Chain A
Amino acid sequence: MSAGLRGSPRTSATRRPVRSGGRQPSVAKLAPVYVYGIVPAGAPVPDDLHGIGDAQVHVVTDGSVAALTSQLPSSRPLGMAADLRAHARVIETVFQSCAVLPMRFGAALENTDTVVAELLERHTDAFVGALERIDNHEQFILRGRYLQGAAFAEVLAEDPQVARKSAWLRERDADTHRLEAIQLGALVARALERKQKADTEFMRAFLEPHVTAIAERDPASPETAVDAALLVPRPVRPTFEQAAEELGRRWDSRIRLRLVGPLPAYDFAQTPEMEQWAS
């Protein structure tokens, strides 16, 4: 079945995430444990919480930390919209009442013992530290998109090179001057990038008083003005939302702002170990 689902027929049915060696357990013979996230021991988790494949969510505890897990029902590939929803829903539900370090989608271990031995026992301190940092916080995502007319008009007005090239091209046949058009477009893209940096700086300074941390995200497109995750203390939320609204008002003529949240702290879940690994 999985071969039919893939773009590339040569891929085998079973693949693993990053591996550095070791034996390959047969998926079919195992009942793998899916891991949604890490919570403090004793976290209130509803009894009727169900996850991927409608399997019941179990809390696996070791000392002061615990993992939200469920049995993976079969070896079918994961990634359908329902799976993604289930993953998000489990984390979201628990996040309503306590801190959660969300795992990235697709984390599975051999069995419950492995969850304890490999994940919880070995990293207790890192998880405790990370959970303390995000405790009583909510994540928001702030995305801004340049209003097309406004952004291009700004670039044209501010960048003499763009204006010159554009004026030159306008008097010529577009089809025979494709190279020049591409060059002009690249100039515009670079100008938008500079704009993006300046606007992101402005946003940072504007919202910094209300947030614990800001994580800039890779802009989705050159038309993205700002894209950042913000970690906001729960009690500060109303003030933060007001400030975001005020930022939207100031930018109303040129940027469309969108605020998503409150969300679990996906962007702030990293422990120092992980940052080390990433660099």
Chain B
Amino acid sequence: MTTSTTITRRQRGGYLERPTPSGLAEVIDLILDKGLVIDVYVRIALVGIEVLTIDARIVIASVDTYLRFAEAVNRLDLTENGPQGLPDLLGRITEGGARHKTRGALAGVRETAREVLGRDDSGGNGSDGRRARSRRREDEDEDEE
């Protein structure tokens, strides 16, 4: 079974990442957010199956994100001699403290997907679904907001 999509290959000149294969993490937003919505096509015959899925829409631009941007730009300003050494600095900002701070705001479907996959691959079940969420309106009450 395909486990993750961290393997990427850079082809030919190497200017384009091509995930191999296109695993679930790559296409989970397609499955959940795209495609035909059956409700549009049928009148009364829908079956009310319960769908436990993560919400594929992504909340962006929170205060934490803004603070992170400001921090990044300000640090950039300090290093007067251009972009040398910057990736390191910025890397630290994003990989370090800011990452978990902004997670609630920036956590996207792909990241969540990886968690789903991780759990699945470790053979867990039952309480694994704790973070899985329905696509329904009720989500808005949940604490991720």
Contacts and interface: CB of A to CB of B under 8 A. Distances in A.
Interface of A: 2, 4-8, 11, 13-19, 21-25, 27, 30, 32, 35, 37-38, 72, 75, 77-82, 84-85, 87-88, 101-110, 114, 117-119, 122-123, 141, 147-150, 152-153, 155-156, 162-163, 166-167, 169-170, 174, 178, 181-186, 188-189, 218-222, 229, 244-246, 248-249, 251-252, 256-261, 263, 266-267, 269-271, 273-274, 277
A92 B50 CA distance: 24
Contact of B52 (A5, A30, A88): A5
Contacts of A38: 36
Contact of B11 (A122, A149, A245): A245
B106 A102 contact: no
A260 B19 contact: yes
Interface in B1-60: 1-2, 8, 11-13, 15-19, 22, 24, 26-28, 30-53, 57-58, 60
B87 interface: yes
A255 to B, nearest CB: 10
B60 to A, nearest CB: 6
A5 B47 contact: no
Contacts of B131: 7
Interface string B93-105: 0100000000000
Contacts of B83: 149-150, 153
- The 4 residue pairs across chains A and B that have the minimum distance between CB atoms: A185-B66, A16-B48, A248-B15, A79-B52
Contact of B15 (A84, A110, A257): A257
Given A110-B45, A114-B42, A104 B31 contact: yes
B67 A222 contact: no
Contacts of A274: 36-37, 40
A70 B2 CA distance: 23
Contact of A249 (B13, B47, B48, B60): B13
Contacts of B45: 109-110, 114, 117-118
Contacts of B32: 84, 104-105
B70 A188 contact: yes
Contacts of B133: 6-7
Nearest to B11: A245
Interface in B78-129: 78, 82-83, 86-87, 90-91, 94, 106, 108-110, 116-117, 119-120, 125-129
B70 A169 contact: yes
B67 to A, nearest CB: 6
A74 to B, nearest CB: 10
Contacts of A106: 49, 51, 53, 135
Contacts of A150: 83
A8 B133 CA distance: 9
Contacts of B2: 85
Nearest to A276: B40
Given A21-B44, A78-B49, A153-B82, 13 more contacts: A7-B143, A15-B50, A23-B44, A25-B48, A35-B38, A77-B51, A81-B119, A103-B38, A108-B49, A170-B77, A185-B65, A256-B17, A260-B22
A16 B51 CA distance: 8
Contact of B90 (A17, A87, A148): A148
Which of the listed residues B12, B68, B74, B141 has the most CB atoms from chain A within 10 Å of its own CB?
Answer: B74
